[in-house]
Chains A and B, each alone.
Chain A
Amino acid sequence: MFIVSYINVPFLYDETGENREHTFQIILYEGSNDIQVNYLDVHPRDMSKHTTTAGIENANGSSGLQYERFNTFTRYRNIYVRYYTGSAPDPDPDPDPDPDPDPDTGTPPPSGGDFHGGSLFFPYILLDPECHTELCIINPDSKQTQGGVFKKYDENGRLIQESGSISIPPRGRHDMAIVDLMGLNGNVAYMVFEPDSESETLVGYEKFISGEEGGESVPGAREPSHSVLDIPHIASDANWFTRIVLINAGDTARNINIKFDNGETVSMEIGPGEHKAFLIKDLFGGDPMPDIHSARIFGSGLIGMELFGSVDEKNELTAILLSNQKEHVVCYPHIVENENWYCGLVAYTYSSTCDLTITPYSADGTPFPEIYRTISTSSRLAGSAGSLGLPQDTAWLEIEGTKSLSGFELFGNVNGGLAGFVCTGMKKKAGVFPDLDSGDVTSIGFVNTEDSEAYVILTAYRDDGTVVATSSINISAHAKVVGEVQGLFDQSIDEATYIAFSSDKEIMGFQLNTSTGQEEADALPIL
C-alpha cells in the first residue's frame, strides 16, 4: 500500500477565525487498486465561490465521483471513505503471482494489458510489401528531452518486439516507418509508444498506406473507454465497408456487447491486451448490413478505431478514433462542396430525442441563419453541405445539441482522396500540426470559435527541435483561415517537418495532406 498523510493542515484563509486544522490520509492499495481516504479530524466548509470537496476524477474530467457526505459542512472525526470498482472490493487483496512460463516455448504467456501510464496506442498497422505504416511522436515541451520505446504486440496482446530507447529533444519530432525499425513481420497487430516517465504531454499519430484501401492518418490514442464507446457512423452496403478495431487496454478479459441501431446485439470476449479487427458484415455471416448506421460498444478499458472505405476502384479509405468525448456544441471546421471536393458530417447522440441548432459561418466569420433538426434516441444527423441545406459560402459550422454529442467530419475529392477526423475536443490554445510531408501538399486551417479576434503565433520546426521560421496571423471572431502552409510564412519552410502554434483564444485547427494527383488524402486535427 501507498499512504499520503496531511497532518494538522489549516485553511489558507479561515473566515471563521477558528484556525481549524485538518488531518487526513490517502491510501492506495496494490492489487485491488482500491482507494481509501481516512479522516482523523476535518471540517469541510462552504465558501462564497467554492466548497471543500472530496472524490475522484478521471483524466479529462468527464467521469468521477464526489463524496456527498461533505455536502454537510460540519466536523468529521474518525471516518473513512473507500473508492473501488467491481461488484465488491476484495477484503484481502492478493495480487496475482507472476504467470508461469509457457512450457512449450519457455517464454512467459502474454502480459497483455500491463500498459504504462501515458502510453500512446496506434491501433491499426499495415505491414507487408504492398502496405506500410508510419508512426510519429512529437515532444511539445520547450525545455525537457523526453523519450520512450515503441512496443509491438500481436493480436493476442503478446509483446513481440520493442525498439531501443528513443530520445526526443525539446520541440523535437521522431517519425519512422515500422518496416525500417523492425522489418516485415506479419504478426504485428498494434503498436504502443511507452514514454519513460508516464508523460502525457507527448503527442503522436500513425499514417497507414494501403495499395488497395488508400491511406489515412489518425492521432495516437491515450484514453481508454470508461464504460462505452460510440460508433457514430457505420456504412455496410454494396459500396462501402466499415471495419472496427478494438484493443483491451486493461489487464483482465472483458465481455463486451455491441448494440446496433437496428436492434441487433453482438457479444464477444476480448482478453487483456487483445486486438480485434473485423468488418461489420463479418458479424452477420458476411452479409452487408445496410440498415445499420451506428452502434454502441459497452465495455471499459477499450481503445477503438473505425475505418470506412469504398469497395470500388477509387479505394477511398478514412479512419477515426472512437472517442469518449462528447460536447453540447460540436464545431466542424472544414465545410467544402465544389466540383473537386465534397464533405460529410455526422452528429450522434445516444440520449433521448435531441434538438440540434446548426449555425453555419462564412470564412470571414459572418453567421448565416440557423438551421434546426431533431434526431431521435441513438440516432445521428448525417449529411453533406447540400443535403443539410447549408448556404453556398459556408466555411465551417457549429451544431449545438440539447444533449451531448459526438461528431466527426470527412472530406473527399473526385480523384478518390478521402480524409476525416473527430470533431470533439478540438479547441485548443496551443498545439501542433504534426506532419509536413515533403511528398504531399499540406494545407492547414484555423477557425476562431470565440467572439473576439485571435492572435496566433506559428513556428515551423525541424525534427531536431530547431526553428525554421516563425509567423503570426490575426483571425477575426468566428472567422476561418485555410491554405497551403507555406503561404502562411514569409520564409521558406522546406526544411520544416511540423508546425506548432499558440493562440490567445481557443481555436480549432486541422491539416490536410494530399498527393499531387489528390488520389490520396489524409487529415489530422491539431494535436
Chain B
Amino acid sequence: MRKNRGFSIILPFLPLVLFVFSGMALAMTGGPDSYGYRYMDSEESGAAPFSWIDISKTGTDYPLGNYDMSADIPIGFTFKFYGINYNTVRLSSSGFITFKKTSLNGAAGGEPIPTEKGLADNMIAAFWDNLKAGT
C-alpha cells in the first residue's frame, strides 16, 4: 500500500539528494568523542527552530531495495569527516550514509555507536534500523 509521500516516484523508499547553501546557529549538549565531535539538539534552550527542507521537487531519486547500499554519490564539495576529506557518499537503506567504499548496509542494526563490529563504519546514522524499501 502506498501513501502520499510528497513526491512523484514509483518506489516508496527513495532517498533524495540536493545541493543548496545556507547556515544555522547552535549550542552544545553531547560529547566530545575522542576526535572532538559534539552534538546538540533542537530541544535545548536557545537552539535555532526546527526547519524541514523540502527537496521532493528538486532532489534526485535514488531507489534502494531492502538491505541495500547505493553506489557512490557526489557530494558536490569536499566534506571533512573525522579529519578526512571526502567528495562522495553512499546511502544505506538502513537509515545511514557512509563515506566508506563498502557494500555493507548495516543490516541487523542498529548497534550502539561507536561499534567495532564492522557492520557499518565511517557513517552518519540518522535512524539506524532495518527499514523497509517497499510496501
**Which positions in A face B, CB cutoff 8 Å?**
1-13, 21-22, 24-30, 32-40, 42, 44-45, 49-69, 78-86, 88-93, 114-118, 197-201, 224-228, 249-251, 300-301
Alpha-carbon distance between A11 and B129 when the two chains are bound, in angstroms: 7
A-B contact count (CB 8 A): 299
Is the beta-carbon distance between B37 and A83 smaller than 8 angstroms? yes
Known: A8-B3, A8-B12, A300-B35. A198 touches B41 (CB 8 A): no
Report B38 CB to chain A, min CB distance, Å.
Answer: 6
Which residue of the partner chain B has the closest CB to A30? B77
**Which positions in B face A, CB cutoff 8 Å?**
3, 5-7, 12-28, 30-43, 50-53, 55-56, 59, 66, 72, 75-89, 91, 95, 97, 99-101, 108-118, 120-132, 135
Is the beta-carbon distance between A198 and B114 smaller than 8 angstroms? no
Is the beta-carbon distance between A7 and B95 smaller than 8 angstroms? no
Report B64 CB to chain A, min CB distance, Å.
Answer: 10
Alpha-carbon distance between A464 and B80 when the two chains are bound, in angstroms: 34
19 contacts between A and B (CB under 8 A): A2-B79, A5-B56, A7-B13, A7-B14, A10-B131, A10-B132, A22-B131, A30-B21, A53-B109, A57-B113, A60-B116, A63-B82, A65-B31, A65-B38, A65-B39, A89-B24, A115-B85, A117-B88, A198-B87
Report A225 CB to chain B, min CB distance, Å.
Answer: 8
Across-interface contacts of A1 in B (CB, < 8 A): 19-22
Report B113 CB to chain A, min CB distance, Å.
Answer: 4
Partner of A67, one of B6, B39, B88: B39
Across-interface contacts of B20 in A (CB, < 8 A): 1, 3
> Which 9 residue pairs are nearest across A and B when measured between Cβ atoms?
A64-B114, A91-B25, A53-B110, A55-B113, A226-B35, A61-B116, A66-B113, A12-B130, A92-B23
Report B134 CB to chain A, min CB distance, Å.
Answer: 10
Is the beta-carbon distance between A61 and B33 smaller than 8 angstroms? no
Is the beta-carbon distance between A79 and B77 smaller than 8 angstroms? no
Across-interface contacts of B5 in A (CB, < 8 A): 7-8
Report B18 CB to chain A, min CB distance, Å.
Answer: 5
State the main secondary structure of chain B at its contact with A.
Answer: loop
Which residue of the partner chain B has the closest CB to A90? B23
Across-interface contacts of B123 in A (CB, < 8 A): 56-57
Is the beta-carbon distance between A27 and B53 smaller than 8 angstroms? yes
Is the beta-carbon distance between A249 and B83 smaller than 8 angstroms? yes
Report B76 CB to chain A, min CB distance, Å.
Answer: 6
Across-interface contacts of B130 in A (CB, < 8 A): 11-13
Alpha-carbon distance between A300 and B7 when the two chains are bound, in angstroms: 43
Across-interface contacts of B88 in A (CB, < 8 A): 117, 197-198
Which residue of the partner chain B has the closest CB to A37? B126
Is the beta-carbon distance between B91 and A28 smaller than 8 angstroms? no
Is the beta-carbon distance between A53 and B79 smaller than 8 angstroms? no
Alpha-carbon distance between A449 and B130 when the two chains are bound, in angstroms: 33
Which residue of the partner chain A has the closest CB to B91? A4
Report B3 CB to chain A, min CB distance, Å.
Answer: 6
Partner of B125, one of A5, A11, A56, A116: A56
Partner of A85, one of B38, B43, B86, B117: B38
Is the beta-carbon distance between A4 and B41 smaller than 8 angstroms? no
Alpha-carbon distance between A78 and B26 when the two chains are bound, in angstroms: 16
Is the beta-carbon distance between A65 and B113 smaller than 8 angstroms? yes
Partner of A79, one of B41, B100, B114, B132: B41
Is the beta-carbon distance between A84 and B39 smaller than 8 angstroms? yes
Report B126 CB to chain A, min CB distance, Å.
Answer: 5
Report A163 CB to chain B, min CB distance, Å.
Answer: 20
Partner of B15, one of A6, A28, A49, A225: A6
Across-interface contacts of A54 in B (CB, < 8 A): 110, 113, 125-128
New A-B pairs, 7, CB < 8 Å, besides A54-B128, A249-B83: A44-B129, A62-B116, A63-B33, A84-B39, A88-B26, A115-B84, A117-B99
Known: A3-B20, A9-B131. A61 touches B121 (CB 8 A): yes
Is the beta-carbon distance between B30 and A65 smaller than 8 angstroms? yes
Alpha-carbon distance between A66 and B109 when the two chains are bound, in angstroms: 14
Partner of B101, one of A63, A64, A201, A227: A201
Is the beta-carbon distance between B126 and A26 smaller than 8 angstroms? yes
Alpha-carbon distance between A91 and B23 when the two chains are bound, in angstroms: 6
Is the beta-carbon distance between B40 and A82 smaller than 8 angstroms? yes
Partner of B83, one of A25, A86, A300: A300
Partner of B100, one of A12, A36, A52, A200: A200
Residue from B52, B78, B84, B128 having most chain A Cβ neighbours under 10 A: B84
Alpha-carbon distance between A80 and B34 when the two chains are bound, in angstroms: 23
Is the beta-carbon distance between B126 and A65 smaller than 8 angstroms? no
Alpha-carbon distance between A12 and B32 when the two chains are bound, in angstroms: 33
Is the beta-carbon distance between B113 and A56 smaller than 8 angstroms? yes
Across-interface contacts of B34 in A (CB, < 8 A): 62-63, 226-228
Alpha-carbon distance between A255 and B38 when the two chains are bound, in angstroms: 20
Is the beta-carbon distance between B80 and A33 smaller than 8 angstroms? yes
Across-interface contacts of A225 in B (CB, < 8 A): 83
Is the beta-carbon distance between A51 and B42 smaller than 8 angstroms? no
Report B70 CB to chain A, min CB distance, Å.
Answer: 10
Partner of A5, one of B16, B31, B32: B16
Partner of A3, one of B13, B14, B16, B38: B16
Is the beta-carbon distance between A56 and B124 smaller than 8 angstroms? yes
Which residue of the partner chain A has the closest CB to B3? A8
Is the beta-carbon distance between B112 and A59 smaller than 8 angstroms? no
